[in-house]
Structures are given as C-alpha cells and as structure tokens.
Chains A and B, each alone.
Chain A
C-alpha cells in the first residue's frame, strides 16, 4: 500500500501543491535559467572542411572520380549538438533548377551523418539548388518568382542560394548529437566535378550548435 503524501512548500508556510481535477500537477516555470548548473554549454561554429582538415572550406572540388568528403567530427571530451547547417551555393544568374549557375549535376551531393546506426542519409542526389532548398524546407523563405530564395551579391556580384538546414525541424530538440570520443560525423559529400568556375563562385557549409562540456 502506498503512503499518501502532499507536497508542501519548502519554506514552511504550509502551502500544498495542487492537482487539477483532471489529474495534472500545477507547476510554475522559472522565468530565468538555473543559476547553479554544473554542466556548461559553449557555442559551436565550424565549417565543414575537406577530410575534416580544419582548413579547406571551399567545396568547389572535383569529386567525380573519388568522392570528396567535407565534414565535422565528434571531439574527445565534449558532446557536440548541431542545430543548423548554413549552405552557400553561389553563381551569377543562378536559378533553382541549376547547381549554382551550372547545369544540374549528374550525381549530386550527399548530405549524411554517421553514428552507431551507420550512415544515415539526410539528402542524396542533391543535384540542383532546389534540392538543397527543399531539403532545408524552404528555410529561410524570401523573395518571390524568379528571385525566390535567391539573394543578390553574396559572393562578389554573384547571386546565391543560402538555405539553412535546421535539425530542430526534424524532431531533434537539441540538434544532432556527435557523441564525445566517438567517430560520429556530419558529412557533405561531393560526387561531381565542382572545380571553381565563373558559374560556381562559392560553395561551402557552416555547422552551428553547442558543445556540452562533460563534468
């Protein structure tokens, strides 16, 4: 048999926590964050770089023979949570059915992550600007008609599509976790010849989120 107990105010004034007729415990959330959390989170902002070299952010490379991988990876002592990934695909006069201002790609890029479940495709056959925009669920939405989702003068005088992939739109409340001391990684794979040209003036990606410092 259970002991019936009221929850009483800690300061001793005798107030008891209420339960609604429908069985809900009444609570009131603090209007400020906790003051004595021992776990710290710090901002994470990193480009996806070639083989995670930390240097090569320009994804305009030739991946037609050997796929080229741009990625970020888990770190030894912190959990990383990726909330968003910002892409730039720039080319003068770019339209949605192109990749930058190139014809739609043959193979397309692949965006995936790798954890204990293996390789999980987020987007494959990303052959055009629209496929990136769609993968990012039209985020951010602006412009209209021929200028829908297209920003002017992003790389010099080149227009660019600037979609932002938000893991929170996919049910990941805190973002994608790259667990500490694992080989978890988030990868953009280039599978076509994307060497720099007048029609492809920029292509890179930045991951945003936070590190949770483990205590």
Chain B
C-alpha cells in the first residue's frame, strides 16, 4: 500500500498534470560545489602508444601496425572526437583515392575500440579510401565551395600538398553531446582506441605524404 505525498519547498509544491507529468525546470547556471572535475585531454594516436610516432605511413602489410591511446590508471578518459588528416603532395586528390594513391588499399585501415569487457568494437573497417574515412566521420566538417573541392584542403603541411581533414564526433553516434558524452576509456582497464594499418603505406609523397590522428576529450577527477 502506498500513500500520497507532496514534494515541498517552504509552502511550494511542484505540479503534476493529468498525464502524470511532474513539472521540472533546469537551472541556467552550473552547480556550485561540483565534486567531479574535468581535465582536458588532447592526444595524438601514436605507434604502440609510444607518445612520439604520429606518422601512420608505415608498413602494416605483414604485421598490423597499431596507433592508439589507452586507458590510464587514475582517470576515466572520455573521448568526444578524433580528427584525421590525410594528404599527398599532388595537384589532384580525389575522394575515391587513399591520399592520392590511384586505387584503393587491399585491406584498408580500421578504427577499433577495444575493451576487455566488450571485445573489439569496429568503428571503421575496410577504410580504403578518403571517402570511407570521411563517411566514418559522418561527413564532418562540411565545407567546400564546389563539388571539386568538397572537404578538400591544400598546403596543410607543405607548399605542395592537398588533403582531407576529417573529424569523427562520437555525438554523431548517439553519445550524449553535453558533458557526459563520449567514448569512455575506463581507468584501470585495458581499453584502447586503435587505428590499425593493414597495408604497406610507405608510398612516395606524391601518393601519400601525411596520415595521422588526434583524440580530443577530457579526464574526470573525483575529489
């Protein structure tokens, strides 16, 4: 058996309408005395997480080469987005190419979330062209004045390069876009976000001059 009760603040009580909906209102300012603190997190994906090797132009055809970030001991890491740049020193670059390699890769790259609890979750598989990278990133960011130069940027790292700059936003995958959102790398657990190279990417610079990725998000500190 239950009783009826009212939530009271002084002599005020919230309304409930005939549909059974309790009226609520959000504050327009942050809470005072937060117990959880965020620390910004910006890390490139590096070879075997060495913290140094950001250049993904490596030979992964025999042994898969892994560029990744992983969970830390003290903090949960929440990844909101990952940016990629791919480019070549060329006058023409197209979305069907990988960099400016005329023809797609045999195996393609993969972006994988690995967790001891959930195993391997493929975010991107068979990423064998610029377009497949773009598609994984939900066509973000969108720009380009004409269809010929859609998503394309030039002179990014050298005077002669052309390339694409893509940003994967986990909010596009349904993660909460405000402060809790993002892919979580849980502390003390072997969780990783890995970009895997499964082809030989040692191409000349006119075919592939740059390929790298950077993860963005925050760490949570509980006092």
| Closest-CB distance, B127 to chain A (whole angstroms) | 19
Contacts of A81 in B (CB 8 A): 30
**Interface 9-residue window, one of B60-68, B113-121, B148-156:** B148-156
In the assembled complex, 29 residue pairs joining A and B whose CB atoms fall closer than 8 Å, in A order, are A7-B22, A8-B6, A9-B6, A9-B15, A10-B6, A10-B16, A11-B13, A26-B21, A29-B24, A30-B24, A39-B29, A81-B30, A122-B40, A128-B157, A130-B156, A134-B85, A134-B165, A138-B165, A141-B142, A143-B144, A144-B144, A144-B152, A148-B143, A170-B40, A170-B216, A171-B217, A172-B38, A173-B179, A176-B40
Partner of A29, one of B25, B32, B83: B25
| Closest-CB distance, A169 to chain B (whole angstroms) | 6
Query: Is B5's CB within 8 Å of the partner chain A?
Result: yes
Query: Is B178's CB within 8 Å of the partner chain A?
Result: yes
Q: Is the CB of A144 within 8 A of B221?
A: no
Chain A's closest residue to B162 (CB) is A145
A residues apposed to B, CB below 8 Å: 3-11, 13, 15-18, 25-30, 33-34, 37, 39, 41, 79, 81, 95-98, 113, 117, 120-123, 128, 130, 133-135, 137-139, 141-149, 167-174, 176-177, 212, 214
CA A27 – CA B7 in complex, angstroms?
A: 14
Interface digits, B54-98 against A, CB 8 Å rule (1 contact, 0 not)? 000000000000000000000000101101010000000000000
CA A117 – CA B40 in complex, angstroms?
A: 11
Query: Is B52's CB within 8 Å of the partner chain A?
Result: no
CA A171 – CA B6 in complex, angstroms?
A: 36
Q: Is the CB of B28 within 8 A of A33?
A: yes
Partner of A8, one of B16, B17, B24: B16
CA A169 – CA B181 in complex, angstroms?
A: 10
Known A18-B21, A27-B23, A97-B156; contact A135-B42, beta-carbon cutoff 8 A: yes
Contacts of B35 in A (CB 8 A): none
Known A4-B2, A137-B167, A144-B150; contact A34-B158, beta-carbon cutoff 8 A: no
Known A4-B2, A144-B150; contact A18-B20, beta-carbon cutoff 8 A: yes
Known A10-B12, A123-B42; contact A169-B81, beta-carbon cutoff 8 A: yes
CA A9 – CA B4 in complex, angstroms?
A: 10
Query: Is B103's CB within 8 Å of the partner chain A?
Result: no
Known A37-B27, A144-B150, A148-B152; contact A138-B141, beta-carbon cutoff 8 A: yes
Contacts of B2 in A (CB 8 A): 4-6
